Structure 1
């Protein structure tokens, strides 16, 4: 299951620095926490980041090799890979402020 957006908007500083946020959410099938994390994260992204992000949703049951490569120990897990530094957040993404801080967005 993938959901991505490739449109990039100008940054708020108006200088045209387009810094797309690259996110990967690792989930465990259709569990309650996984579905909650997907819903919460999509809402946060659509509200605060608009089209300036890409989101890949990875079910570790279907992508076991990728989960091992990323050394995942707890799920759901959100990895923000770009812009650097990489950040990891664990949980159902219900704490909007924590998620925004984790992906480098300040309110």
Structure 2
């Protein structure tokens, strides 16, 4: 099971695109093996500091450890999976 956090900043086009892309990536490639929480840093700056968010949107793989991060709108699936160290379903 992969626990992911997606840090966004408000309701911008970039934030909405990142949320949509992450939902698609998880649904298409991870299915039930993915739990996602979207966090708006404007509403929860303490959590952003705790996870050392340096830019948004930023996806963080919380579990399994170690944590890994990737920045961007998550439109590049290969970069997303490689950056977070997540194997794609059906790909070894």
Q: State TM-score, norm by structure 2.
A: 0.89
Alignment length, in residue pairs? 88
- Check if 1:35 corresponds to 2:16: yes
**What SS does structure 2 have at the residue aligned with 1:23?**
strand
Aligned to 2:26: 45
What is the deviation of 1:58? 0.1
Gaps of 5+ in 1: 1-19
**Root mean square deviation of aligned Cα:** 1.0
Gaps of 5+ in 2: none
In structure 2, distance between residues paired with 1:105 and 1:34: 24
Name segments (4+ residues, structure 1) moved above 4 Å.
Answer: none
Over alpha carbons, which structure has the higher Rg?
A: 1
Q: Map 1:1-107; keep pairs closer than 5 Å.
A: 20-103=1-84, 104-106=86-88, 107=91
In structure 2, distance between residues paired with 1:87 and 1:43: 20
In structure 2, distance between residues paired with 1:96 and 1:72: 21
Aligned to 1:12: none
**What SS does structure 1 have at the residue aligned with 2:66?**
coil
In structure 2, distance between residues paired with 1:66 and 1:85: 18
What is the deviation of 1:102? 2.5
Name whichever structure is richer in helix by fraction. 2
What is the deviation of 1:81? 1.2
